[in-house]
A and B are shown apart, each in its own frame.
Chain A
Amino acid sequence: MIGITSYLVFFLCVVLVLSVLTLGLNLQWGFTGLFNAGVAGFYAIGGYTHAILTAAPQPQYLGNFGLPWIVGIAGAMALTALAALLIGLLTIRLRGDFLAIATFGIAILIQLVTLNLEPLTGGSQGLTRIAKPMSSVFTTPLAYNIFYLVLLIGVVALVYWALGRILASPWGRVLRAIREDETAAIALGKSALRFRLESFVLGSTLMGLAGALYVSFIGFVSPFDFLPILTFQVWAMLIVGGSGNNRGALLGTLVVWGIWAASGVTVSKLVPPSHAAQGAAIQVILIGLVLVLMLLYRPRGLIGERPMVSRHLDG
């Protein structure tokens, strides 16, 4: 019983962390129409910044400042925002699929940096002994994970609420106007590039936050947490849930990660350890199939965007 509870708590924690990623992507794609294929890259920047700021000092590393948790979170968001601003200034003019190729490449570049900049990132070894907040109060793993779950619920609720507010504001309306018809939005005097850049930076900052939350939950970071497959998973979550709807993003995260975890458990039961690679391949094939089938048969997602009509149009 304890086993199931602790698994469920762990599962929900991962889902909530990934929800922050999906919400960030939904702001970029669902509401602004920006095709960011470098989700894993921004997630990595956040994760590594948090690790470098908060991990316990070790002589062989330049970073590992051992700073408090909240400094790590704030620093991770700030640095991801800065990186997104620089990347955005370079790439935001590109049209749809070219932006995807560029951001996809940036994510690979970031992953290479984490692998090769050993004095700072620990290379393929990664960084360990990353501070867990309140770990002196909640000493058993289960109690700690329950505490973290509550913390994550708070963070996701805050992000969800804040996004709802800004998307309902005039700023959010301009984003949707740009997504629907950029020329018309420009004709109305809105600087499409500026709004796109703002949305890109804000969404990426959320991805950085997600990275920091993940790393401080696991207490360990390595380049293999940020493989390109993660970007595809987050895209699958958003498309399955329904882009342009934040509740859809949350539901999609739960459903897709549920499929991933359930298939992982099933595969590990059925496939002998000698064929672990094949088992993992089945999991990825499932995610790919879910993505393609969803696009073919239910392109709106489980709960898609609600059509928005001006209240002045109602008779």
Chain B
Amino acid sequence: MMMVLQALADGVFTGAIIALGAIGVSFTLQIMRFANFAHSEFLTWGAYIALAVTLLTGAGAPTLGLTFGWPLVAAALVSAVLTGLAAWGLDQLVFKRLRRGGAQPLVLVFAAFGAALVMRHIVVLIWGHDSYFYTRELQMAVLVPPGIRVMPDQVFILALALLAMLAMHLFLTYSRTGIAMRAMAESPGLAQACGVRVESVVRTTWLLCGGLAALAGVFTGLTPQLHPEIGFNLLLALFAAAIFGGAGSLPGAVIGGLLVGIAENVFLLVVPPGYKPAMPFVLLLMVLLFRPDGLFGEKR
């Protein structure tokens, strides 16, 4: 019983990180209308950009029982901005030109394949295949009633992730650009007829998707290490979460991410650990078969 509770708790922690990444996948699926296989590389870039920043500043003295201090949080924010810009830059360089040329959506998926290869291996080119750590501090798990082991880092990450999601929700609900984004997600034609400026919505979408992905990447890198496949290994989980929740739905992506994280950890109780990377995919296949529009999505 305690093992199941522990799996649930671990699932919530990883699930929150997956959710941050899945929000971007979900919005590119719905607003840009293609499956962006390069999205996982935004996580990797985010993690390594933050690493580069902390090499300058240090991860900070441990505060509040965490293994790092405020400089790492600042580095994550800097990385979110830079990765957002990189995502937008990729759109300007590749996807925008393909859209202009009237390419069909699947061609954008090929291009995303190619872009993902280039982005991931630029990281290998600079950092190699070695693992890196933001901090070498060790941390003891804290026992939380009724007996679940929890790391203070995990709790802090969960809180930050939830904060980012809340900010995203407020942005989508109250800001003009956020409302325009939702309008584009629902009906591009109608949104344009109502005077929504497509290019500005596209830019905001990439900046936000890249930024959230970078945060997810930094959080993944904190538990416990960075390597060039850090994002790629999460690719299927991100898609599973996004499609599970229904493309273009923020609460959907969040719940999808949590469910994928929990399912991964619960499955581990019965499935040999060697098959762990396949778990999100098995979930995804079930969703695609039984509810292809997701839990909260609308028919496309």
Q: Which one, A98, A275, A284, contacts B121 given CB within 8 A?
A: A284
Instruction: List, in ascending order, chain B residues with CB within 8 A of A21's CB.
Output: none
Encode A273-294 as 1/0 by CB contact (under 8 A) with B: 0010110111011011111100
CA–CA, A101 and B283, complex, Å: 12
For the complex formed, measure the closest distance between the CB of B267 and the CB atoms of chain A, giving whole angstroms: 13
Q: Do A278 and B128 form a contact, CB below 8 Å, given A94-B292, A105-B281, A284-B121?
A: yes
A18 touches B (CB below 8 Å): no
Task: Choose the segment among A7-15, A108-116, A130-138, A140-148 that binds chain B (4+ C-beta atoms closer than 8 Å).
Answer: A108-116
Q: Do A288 and B106 form a contact, CB below 8 Å, given A112-B277, A277-B129?
A: no
Encode B93-134 as 1/0 by CB contact (under 8 A) with A: 010011001010111011101111110111011001100000
For the complex formed, measure the closest distance between the CB of A169 and the CB atoms of chain B, giving whole angstroms: 26
Task: Provide the main secondary structure of the chain A interface.
Answer: helix
CA–CA, A91 and B281, complex, Å: 13
B174 touches A (CB below 8 Å): no
A232 touches B (CB below 8 Å): yes
- Are B128 and A277 touching (Cβ within 8 A)? yes
B274 touches A (CB below 8 Å): yes
Interface residues on A, range: 35 or more
- Are B292 and A97 touching (Cβ within 8 A)? no
- Are B115 and A35 touching (Cβ within 8 A)? no
Encode A77-121 as 1/0 by CB contact (under 8 A) with B: 000000000000011001011101110111011001001100000
- Are B274 and A288 touching (Cβ within 8 A)? no
Interface residues of A (CB under 8 A from B): 35, 37, 90-91, 94, 96-98, 100-102, 104-106, 108-109, 112, 115-116, 229, 232, 235-236, 239, 275, 277-278, 280-282, 284-285, 287-292, 295-296, 299
Q: Could you name 12 residue pairs across A and B whose Cβ atoms are closer than 8 Å?
A: A101-B239, A108-B236, A232-B113, A236-B114, A282-B121, A285-B117, A285-B118, A285-B122, A292-B115, A295-B110, A296-B101, A299-B101
